[in-house]
Structure 1
Amino acid sequence: MNKKLVISSFLIMFSVVCLSITVYAATTGFSLRVNGIAIKGEAKVIDGVTYVPLRTVIEGMEGSYHVMPESNTISILRRDISMYGGYTESNPLHSGSKAYFEMNENFNKFIGSVSIEETSKGKDALKVFQEKKEPAPSGYSYVLIKVNLHILASEKPGALLSMNNYRFEYIDSVTLKRTPSFMFPKYSPSVSEGKPFNGWVGFLIPEGHESGMIVLSSTDDRQNALWMKVE
């Protein structure tokens, strides 16, 4: 047999074997476990790079994964800092800290952040009103919180989230009664990406009950809410 032909045949066979190994390595799947628990899906190692189904892994870690194609955004929230499981009545958000939330409203999804910058009560609250507000009725007191709320992403670019009086509600620590804010006028301000809300939210509550909670939620959702401590 011609020597060149033998060498050529060997090289061809060697290339086929290498190709087979490469294909095998690229298509071999690895099972997935999150915190020791098996989840659906598999990982693959291709050219030394590990690929995993991100959504499956994030949700396996009880996180929140949202694809927003219209705004070319993928939003991932850790469940322990998102609205639906992070800051609750027993673990509320405190002044100076920031929470991230997800909110569904008007067939749109909003991802945002919120923080309490300041709290003002009683006579100090009247100074915030610049003396344009009458003193609270007998037996009641004003409680104001200064809120910084940003929309980080929305499913529909430019979508507006209305800041109406029921967006924030005060929960009495004694009676558990909910009281909506009175700060927003009929034509409520709105927030969107690049247009945050930074202002006061006010409540009129019974005196002595100022140690309650503020909740932030969708107007049609009173169960899932972000809880904030009045301090």
Structure 2
Amino acid sequence: MNRKLVFISFLSTFLVLCLSITVFAATAGYSLRVNGADIKGEAKVIDGVTYVPLRTVIEGLGGSYHVMPESNTISILRRDISMYGGFDESNPLLYGSKAYFEINENFDKFIGSVIIEETSTGKDALKVLQDKKEPAPNGYTYVLVKVNLEILASEKPGATLSINNYRFLYIDPVTQKRTPSFMFSQYSPSVAEGKSFNGWVGFMIPEDHQSGMIVLSSPNDRQNALWMKLQ
């Protein structure tokens, strides 16, 4: 009988020891390395599942991570392809296609989409303008671009993004000169979640212009922009 008690006691001690070792092994921390570089943070493997601090890893990859509690959304964007859809001067967004973008402005973050639905130049542009703009001066013409821009999520509920004159810029393909747009109303429209902008953006450019591109960006960030090729 005593032998049996000793055996049970030994078995219990052994099981507790094994469990302790298992738990320790399961929750042991691992250092993190992204693209060959060590980053702050620790990963753990628990019950065969690897857990990593997602924000640390995303930012280590050069991306952005935003928690938007009001819309129960976590937005993860790779800056190289998602900040402005990966569309740059050498790979512009084609007419009629949609791109997704992220704009950080005035301490607010906006995730949205944009598409060029229509373009109009010359006499056709004047029909669109009607009496909202005088005829262009000699040597100049109007280029109008119909844009559909939506805000899909914003970090602060109710935050608005202004469609001001410098939100869209026309870029001359030869001189690379940037021409700001003009609006069709006295006040610049704004967009927010559930309130999109679907309207015309106008440019007055030299009459002998070649087909150029327009860019969408933040007025405070001229280096990063979404490039769009006109038809």
Q: What per-residue deviation string (whole Å, max 9, x for no partner) do you get for residues 152-199 of structure 1?
A: 221210111111122111122223222211124232211001111112
Identity over the aligned pairs, expressed in percent?
A: 80
> For residues 89-128 of structure 1, what are the structure 2 equivalents within 5 Å?
89-128=89-128
Shift of 1:83: 3.4
Per the normalisation by structure 1, the TM-score is 0.85
* Separation (CA, whole Å) in 2 of partners of 1:58 and 1:85: 17
* Separation (CA, whole Å) in 2 of partners of 1:74 and 1:200: 32
* Separation (CA, whole Å) in 2 of partners of 1:223 and 1:184: 27
* Separation (CA, whole Å) in 2 of partners of 1:29 and 1:108: 35
Amino acid at match of 2:212: G
8 Å CA contact 2:85, 2:99 repeated in 1: no
Per the normalisation by structure 2, the TM-score is 0.85
Q: Could you tell me which residue of structure 1 aligns to residue 38 of structure 2?
A: 39
Name stretches of at least 5 consecutive residues in structure 2 with no aligned partner: none
Shift of 1:117: 2.1
Q: Could you tell me which residue of structure 2 aligns to residue 197 of structure 1?
A: 197
8 Å CA contact 2:110, 2:154 repeated in 1: yes
Name stretches of at least 5 consecutive residues in structure 1 with no aligned partner: none
Q: What per-residue deviation string (whole Å, max 9, x for no partner) do you get for residues 14-50 of structure 1?
A: 3312321332222223344445x24323422111221
Shift of 1:113: 1.8
Q: Could you tell me which residue of structure 1 aligns to residue 224 of structure 2?
A: 224
Amino acid at match of 2:14: F
**Count of residue pairs the alignment pairs up:** 230
8 Å CA contact 2:112, 2:150 repeated in 1: yes
* Separation (CA, whole Å) in 1 of partners of 2:119 and 2:22: 63
* Separation (CA, whole Å) in 1 of partners of 2:5 and 2:55: 52
- 1:62 lines up with 2:74 in the alignment: no
Shift of 1:134: 4.6
Amino acid at match of 2:170: Y
* Separation (CA, whole Å) in 2 of partners of 1:187 and 1:135: 21
8 Å CA contact 1:210, 1:230 repeated in 2: no
8 Å CA contact 1:163, 1:184 repeated in 2: no
8 Å CA contact 1:71, 1:156 repeated in 2: no
Amino acid at match of 1:123: K
